[in-house]
Structure 1
Amino acid sequence: MTEIILLNPYTERDAPRDKQSILDIRGKTADGELINVEIQLFNKYDTEKRTLFYWSKLYSGQLQEGQSYKVLKKCVTINILNYSFLPNSQYHNVFHLREDRSDIPLIDDMELHFLELPKLGDHAAPVESG
């Protein structure tokens, strides 16, 4: 079992005019991997851009001036959506950085999950009443 430590949900701004991001849940595993969980009840559009923006803030926020890029840890974003988003029937989709033809991974530091609750209906176990 992996312990997750909850962190401050506010991301750092690089400059006073930068957009402030407030993550729904921000955590860190014992290995230092960062996790962001976002819950969206309504489709506010630009889901993929918002996801990458939040992921990039989490990733880049790990480094302080003068630190080596080697200290960067994997960041995982989990989007729980109350609407259909991707054009398939899968309710859980996972994205990574991979080369298109050979599927070789570039780096494992990015992992994006999309859980689409409306698509879960066909896959959910029946609930027994009693």
Structure 2
Amino acid sequence: MENLEILSPKIDLVFKRIFGNEKNPRILISFLNAVMDPIDKITEVKIENSNIEDDDEFSRLDIKAKTDKGERINIEIEIKNEHDMIKRGLYHWSKMYGGKVKHERYDDELVKTVYINIFNFKFFRSEQAHTCYRMKEIKTNEEFTDMQELHFIELPKIPKEDREITDIFSAWMEFIENPISNNLKKMEMEVEEIKEAKEELMRISADKKERALYEERKVLMLNKVSKLEIDENK
């Protein structure tokens, strides 16, 4: 196991295997509470799909879930800036928000919908690694509703130096960025879900079939990046 190459959670296939694991929803619950920081903590989630959605000639892997509060959640991880990230975020949020309405029973079917996108690149001007957007009045800053919530996490803005990690959000970001980091060791011992996520990552890293799927997915994603770079330089 010493020479085992640990698969990267930044590849969406691995990310979904860990955080979209229906057999261990505790990992996703911990992650969502860390990102959303709700007043009333999420205690249960139901992962709603494990399918691949077509996106051009490439396929997109995301996580869809519903919390015990009735909130709908959509989580994606992106390795390349495709320059339409805002429109895409709103599009995926709107599909989750209104896509299940059948009989105009807005009070029953329209619920708080949260879109979480993790970027492996810098995108916003803010120095903050984690930004959250809701609808507000532009002059008074009065919140119109909390039914719409979009979170963006920019991994390159996460501090990279050796440091003691003491909060769960930083621990999850460190896990995604560098799961074998020495910075994580204390949190692995203190937070059971971090430990479970690391164990699941080690398991799939040692599984030949999982590694083969990972390598195939990694090549596909690198090809996508190359295609985008070629298109940008035209």
TM-score by length of 1: 0.81
SS in 2 for 1:54: helix
Q: Which amino acid aligns with 1:39?
A: I
For the pair shown, the structure with the greater C-alpha radius of gyration is 2
Are 1:51 and 1:77, in contact at CA under 8 Å, matched by a contact in 2?
yes
Q: Who is 1:18 aligned against?
A: none
- Relative to its length, the structure with more strand (as a share) is 1
Unmatched segments (≥5 aa) in structure 2: 1-41, 52-58, 165-180, 186-234
- Is the counterpart of residue 57 in structure 1 residue 95 in structure 2? yes
Q: Who is 1:109 aligned against?
A: 147
Q: Which amino acid aligns with 2:106?
A: Y
Q: Who is 1:33 aligned against?
A: 71
Unmatched segments (≥5 aa) in structure 1: 11-20
- Relative to its length, the structure with more helix (as a share) is 2
Q: Percent identity?
A: 39
Equivalent residues, number: 119
Are 1:83 and 1:118, in contact at CA under 8 Å, matched by a contact in 2?
yes
Are 1:9 and 1:22, in contact at CA under 8 Å, matched by a contact in 2?
no
SS in 2 for 1:121: coil
Identify the match of residue 104 of structure 2 among 49, 62, 67. 67
Write the mapping of 1:10-49 to structure 2, written as runs, cut at 5 A. Answer: 24-49=62-87
Distance 1:69 1:124 in 2: 49
Cα shift readout 1:73-92 (whole Å, capped 9, x = no counterpart) = 00000110000010111000
Q: Report deviation, 1:128.
A: 3.9
Q: Who is 2:138 aligned against?
A: 100
TM-score by length of 2: 0.46
